[in-house]
Amino acid sequence: MNPHAHREEKVSGLLMVLPAFVMLLIFVITPLGLAFYRSFFDYRAGQESILVGFDNYMKILNNEVFFKSFFNVLKMTLAITLFQIIFSFLFANALVRIKGKFGVFSRTIIYLPHLISGIVVAVIFTLLTTYNGGIINAFLGIFNIEPIPFNNSEFWSPISIIIPTVWIGFGYFSLVMYAGLINIPKEFFEAAEIDGASFAQLTRHISIPMMKNYFLLLIVTLIVANMQMFEIPMIMTNGQPANQTMTPVLYLIHSRSNGNISDSEITAAAILIMIMILIVNSFVFKIFSRREGRWDL
């Protein structure tokens, strides 16, 4: 290859990625660096900033409610991710088999909940699950069944958060799964079916291994989104009862509005949330980085 042409190709490639790098530098790297810097200082209005080292981090880590909120969001994220991946994958398999206009209609309808904001979804499910006057409990009352305290029970409250969170993303994740399934060469399935493979065997030996990257994308997306959840818990339970549905972001919002936490501690807490997300995602990437052959279950 001509060295001059190779150099021009390299330069043109660098010029193409330069705008993206500049935007990343301005809106991500620089603010993140400033946040790290500010987290080691104590900023008070009208006062000179004081270097406090890791004191802001220690205050946050020693906060019992904030520490509990991490475990709450980890448990809910695990449940949401598990249910979302399983249900979306199964429904995507059904969508693949629906042909014609009804298939297009089905894919359109299933995506609609994803267009609704988290606050609206929380209000809708609050109307469904309210103890007195909720639609579900009103229906149970017809059969003289005691109302269920969906939003005031340590057992039911996390479930009342998990269900609408799964519902709002179900259509989007199903369509991503659908895209992955239709991109698998049909010849693979046809050859396996000729050999007498069942749906379970097709799924285990073809669909799942071929969609490894799709699963990775969706799991990482779910972890990043749900470990920062606050809209649905805020509207439906406000982190209660006994802080069972408190999330780190919701705790910071409450503490900031009540004046119980400084801006420097909020910055440190935000960085801790980011670190926790990175740790969990690193664990996911480690699992998915196994040899391709290991995925033929």
Q: Same domain, yes or no, for 231 and 129?
A: yes
Tell me the whole-structure pTM to 2 decimals: 0.85
Q: Same domain, yes or no, for 5 and 89?
A: no
Among candidate residues 270, 289, 236, the one with its CA nearest the CA of residue 66: 270
Residue 173 burial by CB count (10 A; 0-12/13-18/19+): exposed, middle or buried? buried
Q: Same domain, yes or no, for 22 and 59?
A: no
In-domain check, residue 10: yes
Q: Same domain, yes or no, for 121 and 5?
A: no
Residue 17: give the domain boundaries: 1-38
CATH of residue 276: 1.10.3720.10
Instruction: Look at 195 and 70; give whichever has higher pLDDT.
Output: 70
Q: Same domain, yes or no, for 12 and 109?
A: no
In-domain check, residue 138: yes
In-domain check, residue 283: yes
DSSP state at residue 42: E
pLDDT tens digits, residue range 224-269? 999 999 999 999 998 888 888 999 999 988 888 877 788 888 888 8
Q: Same domain, yes or no, for 100 and 27?
A: no
In-domain check, residue 33: yes
Q: Same domain, yes or no, for 238 and 182?
A: yes
The overall average pLDDT reported for the chain is 86
